[in-house]
Copies of this chain bind each other. A is one copy, B any other.
């Protein structure tokens, strides 16, 4: 979002945190709406009580004077959030608050979560967070700036994770702020609470955002941070989503899909949506969820495979789908999920299944580059909590035959059945061996033994014991499975029939491929 340029007077010099600009410097476009007198008196009384309570703890009770700055703070009553007016006020993104000289002295208006609230003598500090970005907001009683003692007390009374609107002036902090992402602070002129969180949250966000190393360090000194268990996290998922790492994961997930689509669009693929409620099981190998559909038995689609194929037969030469896949798995691992989002591709093959491998090669290299370029900060955020090594990949993706893979494993001392399938352990080991030898975390293994692939896989031309199929590996885990399909007479028609479609008369391109379950 665009923000107002700073007034020339403020931009000319760097205001320190003690040089408070006067109210006249605040651009009118960022002023918060004035609350009604009744509402304000209510808020003021509340803040006064809070201030009085604090005073009582520190000093003997003193008579509370009427606050002339009562309009500058308070809990916003519901009426004020009822779309009262379109003010066209200009909001600033916390991420855009940088330490460039031009920013200092500027009036800004931000909305965010009160991540941390603390007091230092007569001052209050509120860290306001938006997404992965945070900024320190400072309040010190100062009649010239319109900040009363009661207003400081109101800020101190805020609860963590409340939603707050802060209006103030950007300044350099006296000392560098280590606990926020932004290196400037906001000297608060107005502060309102839009939505007050309960005082005791199920867990502190800081505790949910710590890395293993941060947990282990104080243990040596006999101290301990509270750990937040998986169940607690999932039971309070909206709260846990607010950690910088989860914000980064959601953003990266969105960006992976974005690049996936942009790349495929550029290669003339169309996006389709296939039905999820089917008359029969769509994939033989996986367990199926069954339900009743208007008195008939129905299944949840375990794969969009059949309908993707029908799109190709229907003359759509290149299609993809991003959507839910349902499998009634009894085990629960990151590779056995009852519901996951599948990224599926199906395309006509003109001559050779390498045409598909080439699309995958270019697709993934473009996604990797996009993430490295556009999500650098998000990757760093995740790396701080869950440490990982940077991804290694080649400009031209390595293709190994299954035979070559088996040979590498044998030479490294792993006993392998030459025509058997790779188990998880062998896949991981092969990933390590390939990384050592070729310097890549990402490669394609092709020409699998026909016996370990589904019955509709096309055998190799020169040796029918092998097949025109491939798996794609990322860090030693299979993330894609694909193949050229064979035209088993009646096979597709039979499966279509089970799903309620009479396809007995279809003429078809039967060469196509499937690329499901892309985890990143």
Contact = CB atoms under 8 A, between A and B. Distances in A.
Given A197-B507, A277-B339, A315-B247, A82 B461 contact: yes
Given A82-B459, A350-B91, A324 B507 contact: no
Contacts of A131: 315-317
Instruction: Say whether chain A's binding surface is mostly helix, strand, loop, or mixed.
Output: loop
A270 interface: yes
Interface residues of A, number: 100
B277 A83 contact: no
Nearest to A338: B277
A215 interface: no
Most chain-B Cβ atoms within 10 A of its Cβ — which of A315, A339, A506?
A315
Interface string A276-292: 11000000000001111
Contacts of A313: 238, 241
A369 interface: no
Contacts of A239: 314, 505-506
Given A131-B317, A310-B238, A317-B131, A354 B83 contact: yes
Contacts of A509: 163, 194-195
Nearest to A252: B270
B198 A236 contact: no
Contact of A85 (B234, B251, B322, B351): B351
A351 B235 contact: no
B314 A505 contact: no
A332 B82 CA distance: 38
Contacts of A311: 238, 241, 250
Interface in A119-164: 129-131, 159, 161-163
Nearest to A460: B82
A501 interface: yes
A475 interface: no
Given A111-B350, A277-B326, A293-B289, A316 B241 contact: yes
A83 B293 contact: no
A420 to B, nearest CB: 23
Interface stretch (A59-67, A99-107, A254-262, A423-431): A254-262
Interface string A484-520: 1001000000000000011101111111000000000
Interface in A445-465: 458-461
A310 B237 contact: yes
B510 A195 contact: yes
Contacts of A487: 78, 195
Nearest to A247: B315
A341 interface: yes
Contacts of A507: 113, 159, 161-163, 195-198
A29 B484 CA distance: 24
A487 B197 CA distance: 13
Interface in A321-348: 322-324, 326, 328, 330, 338-339, 341, 348
A410 interface: no
Contacts of A202: 505
A468 interface: yes
Given A84-B461, A161-B507, A196-B507, A241 B314 contact: yes
Contacts of A251: 270
B277 A250 contact: no
A201 interface: yes
Contact of A351 (B87, B291, B350): B87
29 contacts: A79-B461, A81-B510, A82-B460, A83-B349, A84-B352, A91-B350, A113-B315, A195-B487, A237-B503, A238-B311, A238-B314, A238-B506, A238-B508, A239-B314, A239-B505, A241-B311, A241-B313, A242-B314, A247-B316, A250-B316, A254-B272, A273-B322, A276-B324, A276-B339, A289-B291, A290-B291, A293-B338, A294-B330, A322-B322
List 9 A-B pairs, minimum CB-CB distance, nearest first. A241-B314, A197-B507, A291-B291, A254-B270, A82-B461, A235-B502, A238-B313, A83-B352, A242-B315
